[in-house]
Each structure stands twice: as C-alpha cells, then as structure tokens.
Amino acid sequence: MGMVNMLEAKTTLSELVEAVESGAEKEIIIARDGKPAAKLVPVEAPKKKLRLGVLAGKYPPMDFDAFQAMDAEIEAMFLGEEK
C-alpha cells in the first residue's frame, strides 16, 4: 500500500490511519497527480523519563567495611547455614 492517491486517501482515511497505528504499514505516501505530496506516519509515544535517586535517604548510609562484612552473612544464607 506504500503510496495512495489523494482521492483514495480521502475515502479511506480511517483505514489508512489504522494501518499506520497498528504497524501494518510503516508509512503511507499520499500522492497528488502521481507525485508524492504528504506522508502519513505514526506518532511516537513520549519516552518515559528515568528517575534517578528515588530511594535516596530511605536507607542508612553504609561504608565499604560494613558492606564487605555482609558477605559472610549472605554466603551463609545462600548455603542454608544458620548463623
């Protein structure tokens, strides 16, 4: 369906829009007298913004030594050992 003439576009506009929205057609060129005049393409959805620092302040600060001390506890949990 890549290119349609103006008259066909007028009479089948809802079908053309549906084809572009659904992804059946990437784009549709509308021609006047056999020459491309317009392009029908889907509108891109706005990209979701990534929020950084959502958990800032929710947990107590931990230094490197305290973080490393948890290794033995986590290893015991994986191995099913009681501490």
Domain membership flag for residue 74: no
Domain membership flag for residue 62: no
Domain membership flag for residue 60: no
Q: Which domain holds residue 12?
A: 3-40
Q: Is pLDDT larger for residue 4 or for residue 66?
A: 4
Domain membership flag for residue 53: no
Flag whether pLDDT at 73 surpasses 90. Answer: no
Can you give the pTM of this predicted structure? 0.53
Q: Please state the domain count of the chain.
A: 1
Domain membership flag for residue 31: yes
Distances, alpha carbon 10 to alpha carbons 13, 31, 71, in Å: 6, 11, 68
Q: Which of 60, 58, 9 is nearest to 31 (CA)?
A: 9
Domain membership flag for residue 29: yes
Place 83 in a pLDDT band, splitting at 50, 70 and 90.
Answer: low
Domain membership flag for residue 19: yes
